[in-house]
Amino acid sequence: MSNPARQDKSPDAIIIGAGHNGLATATVLARNGQRVLVLEKNHYVGGMGGTREILKGCRNEVGASCLFPLSKEIRDYFDFENNGVELIPLPVMAVNLTGATGRPLIFYKNPFKLALGILREFGFGSMLGFVRFMKFCQYPAHVLDRFTARKAPRNLDELIADAPTPEKRQQLELAFRGSAMDIIDKFFPDRIAHRELRASLAFAAVQATFKGPYTAGSGMCLIYTMAQEGSGGLMQRVRGGMGKLSESLVQQIEQHGGEVRLKQRVKKILVENGRAVGVELKNGEQLFAGTVISNLDKPATFNHLLAEHPLQQAVQEKVDGFEHRGAFVHMLFKLKGLPDYGEHLKKLNKIACAKFGGAMVIDVDDLQASYEACKKGELPDKVPVAFQFPTVMDSSLAPEGYHIASAYGFYFPCDADKSQRGKLRDRMGEMIINHISLHMPNFRELIVDKAIFSSDHFATMEGATNGDWTHGLLHPEQMVGDRCLLEGAGHTTPIQNLFLCGASCHPGPGVTFLPGYNCAHEVMAHAGQNKDISSTVATERAA
């Protein structure tokens, strides 16, 4: 992926990490005339939004597996569908299942079909509660501002204080600092009639945060999950896997003269006179540029790549104060057939695309108990699972006659003693298979091959601190403006000419491309005030 014509020229910007945000930053800069060099330690691009062969003959995703909302500005700018990406709509975006006797909750793409399905399966009260719940989410989601491009976020206290009425302020306090169940109880109070809806929404609230559904602050993750961007709020698959998005950006970068180098591990960021001037690779090679941009999270950037250049105490305390945990086990499966739903769910076998994926959830009290067990370093008694059979929608991901599946199980005791985590991981893997088999009895017999990853693997493979794919859990105190290191800037750091472009920045995790896109614009605004940064660095080094 090199561009020989420019190997003799120092780049304007070096981007560390070819995850989708790093590539988004590089694409924007390259389009605007900057010479960019992206350095990636792995042999593939996309990071936790990449696709590669893990199980023989398959294209597997270790990380993101569905494309969620993209803002209109992002869709128009990167124009993926005219740059080699084919998106697959999902008529059934998810099927959520609760226990051996629970009624299935089917999330149809069509909103009227979704409402009608809830009405038929759960009754008028549940449908009305769901409509009111979605309406409740609209205002805090708007304040959270998850999909606005090129805008530095404000901190949470200011956003709440600026609410136009006391009622709105109370709503934001509940949404951002209350528990998920504080919200869910308002709209689905009946533990029996609303059981499945309560369980599904509680699970949605805890997947990107180290909290239980009754824990204060878990409401933030629920609002974040439910935030949508108009019609773009619908899930889609990417044909050939999520990595196709990053591969498209690589092509765009190279078309504009940029370069992406694989198997290039950065050892440290070089700093002179308080400003970043380049990087040193593991092999000792030094590369210089006017701007250095890290797609890694804050601890990985400042405590490792910049270990020789400590920050001021207040900034260092903020970096160290961000909570990073990966309380999950991720499994991949190669199957010799597509499993069937069991007798209690047999009607799902007749619904087109109902086997694509969704969640196998547990009752909210059990979910809280699982979190409490995880905190103590123990395996939970019950494991909720997010599952997917991608080949239902895209047969190209597996050899003919085979299917692939993926599953995330929560909560894995990621703080247990490291010597015990391998055994705990394997035991939890069996619990995940058992849970899937509860709803699909022939699942286990169809397994040809499997792979299992815990947060320890994500830490090693992707450089994510403690395997945390969110680059900073979705806790109220580390979201919106509080996610930034400098007030009024989304990506600028205390070290001159060093920027952050990954999910550690606002608006956070998810394949939205916004952190990378926004970072590039902040870099260009900075360069507008320092037009000769790269030439100045080169001149000083020559002298």
DSSP structure string for 332-358: EEEESS-----GGGGGGGGSTTTTSEE
pLDDT at 516 over 90: yes
In contact, 367 and 202? CB cutoff 8 Å: yes
Residue-level pLDDT at 411: 96
Say how far apart CA 194 and CA 189 lie, in whole Å: 7
Least confident residue range of 17-21, 106-110, 245-249: 106-110
Residue-level pLDDT at 533: 33
In contact, 219 and 205? CB cutoff 8 Å: yes
Residue (of 151, 463, 147, 454) closest to 295 by Cα position: 463
pLDDT at 366 over 60: yes
pLDDT at 529 over 50: no
Which has the higher per-residue pLDDT, 536 or 234? Answer: 234
Domains by residue range for the chain, with CATH: 4-65+241-323+468-542 (3.50.50.60), 89-234+325-462 (3.90.660)
pLDDT at 121 over 80: yes
Per residue in 257-277, pLDDT (tens digit) is: 999 999 999 999 999 999 999
3-state helix, strand, coil in the chain (%, to 5): 45, 15, 40
pLDDT at 71 over 70: yes
Token pair 């950065």 in the structure block, residue: 266
In contact, 277 and 288? CB cutoff 8 Å: yes
Residue-level pLDDT at 20: 98
pLDDT band at 233 (very low <50, low <70, confident <90, very high): low
Joined together, the tokens standing for residue 514 give 């916004």
Residue-level pLDDT at 3: 42
Which has the higher per-residue pLDDT, 1 or 152? Answer: 152
Strand partners, 498: 292
pLDDT band at 531 (very low <50, low <70, confident <90, very high): very low
Q: Is 16 helix (H, G, I), strand (E, B) or coil?
A: strand
Q: What is the pTM of this model?
A: 0.93
Per residue in 439-491, pLDDT (tens digit) is: 999 999 999 999 999 999 999 999 999 999 999 999 999 999 999 999 889 99
Per residue in 402-452, pLDDT (tens digit) is: 999 999 999 999 999 999 999 999 999 999 999 999 999 999 999 999 999
Token pair 């006017």 in the structure block, residue: 290
pLDDT band at 286 (very low <50, low <70, confident <90, very high): very high
- Name the average pLDDT for the chain: 93
Mean pLDDT across 4-15: 72
Residue-level pLDDT at 527: 83
Q: Is 173 helix (H, G, I), strand (E, B) or coil?
A: helix
Least confident residue range of 49-53, 57-61, 92-96, 226-230: 226-230
